[in-house]
């Protein structure tokens, strides 16, 4: 089980990312359009605007966590669960359509 503070920190990052998603996206589009060999004044302003956004609003800072335990590693995107929880649920037939492999 992950620490509660880590889970809350991750939720806070998700809220910030959603809040600044449109601002960050539009600024990046403007920067891409005004691509010139040298830095123009407009591009410098766009870069300053991007840098003024909070660090935790960047999507690269987000981690995918297990829905039940909050574990940050070995997560399966399809189920939103970590590996060992997924295995336990498949064994006890709680996930329809998922079968346990056996050789």
> Residue 18: helix, strand or coil by DSSP?
helix
pLDDT in tens, 49-102: 888 899 999 989 888 889 888 888 899 998 899 998 999 999 898 988 888 776
- Break the chain into its structural domains and give their ranges: 1-62, 64-103
Indicate the pTM of the whole model.
Answer: 0.67
Q: Give CA–CA dist 64/10, Å, rounded.
A: 9
CA 7, 77, 19, 21 torsion: positive or negative?
positive
Tokens 């649920």 identify what position?
89
**Per-residue tokens: 46:** 């766009």
Q: How confident is the model at residue 4 (pLDDT cuts 50, 70, 90)?
A: confident
Q: In this structure, are residues 2 and 68 in contact, taking their beta carbons and an 8 Å threshold?
A: no
pLDDT recorded at residue 16: 93
Q: If one looks up domain 64-103 in CATH, what number appears?
A: 4.10.830.10
């Amino acid at each position: 089980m992950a620490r509660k503070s880590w889970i809350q920190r991750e939720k806070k990052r998700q809220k910030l990312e959603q809040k600044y998603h449109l601002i960050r996206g539009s600024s990046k589009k403007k920067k891409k359009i005004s691509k010139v060999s040298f830095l123009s004044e407009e591009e410098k302003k766009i870069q300053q605007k991007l840098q003024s956004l909070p660090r935790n609003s960047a999507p690269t800072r987000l981690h995918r966590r297990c829905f039940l335990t909050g574990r940050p590693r070995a997560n399966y995107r399809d189920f939103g669960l970590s590996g060992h929880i997924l295995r336990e649920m498949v064994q006890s037939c709680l996930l329809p359509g998922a079968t346990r492999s056996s050789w």
